[in-house]
């Protein structure tokens, strides 16, 4: 969930003229109920990955996204290499 929320914040900041992520748009992008999003945002702020006012991702949050992507890509490549699964099956989680 953290990855989805952090990516949604980054996407919103990129697409907003004011460079500000709005919680409602982050909620829609991450497909969460607002109360659950609020709880996760509190957790992310406690872990110093975001600031809530205004909604902004910190360097620690950006580092998390980079590490998560690196790990995901590694797992995908290992599955393709060692399990002889086509790329599209690995991405679907088959």
Residues 6+ away with beta carbon under 8 Å from 52 = 41, 42, 45
Q: Identify the domain containing residue 71 by its residue range.
A: 2-92
Q: pLDDT tens digit string along 17-46?
A: 777 889 999 999 999 999 999 999 999 999
Which pLDDT value is given to residue 94? 47
**pLDDT > 70? residue 62:** yes
- Quick check: helix, strand or coil at residue 17? coil
Number of domains the chain is built from: 1
**pLDDT > 70? residue 69:** yes
- Closest to 60 (Cα-Cα) out of 51, 72, 70: 51
């Amino acid at each position: 969930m953290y990855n989805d929320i952090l990516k949604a914040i980054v996407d919103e900041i990129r697409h907003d003229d004011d460079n500000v992520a709005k919680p409602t748009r982050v909620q829609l992008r991450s497909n969460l109920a607002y109360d659950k999003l609020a709880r996760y945002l509190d957790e992310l702020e406690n872990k110093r990955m975001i600031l809530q006012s205004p909604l902004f991702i910190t360097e620690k949050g950006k580092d998390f996204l980079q590490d998560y992507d690196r790990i995901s890509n590694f797992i995908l490549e290992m599955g393709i290499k060692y399990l002889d699964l086509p790329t599209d099956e690995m991405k679907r989680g088959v």
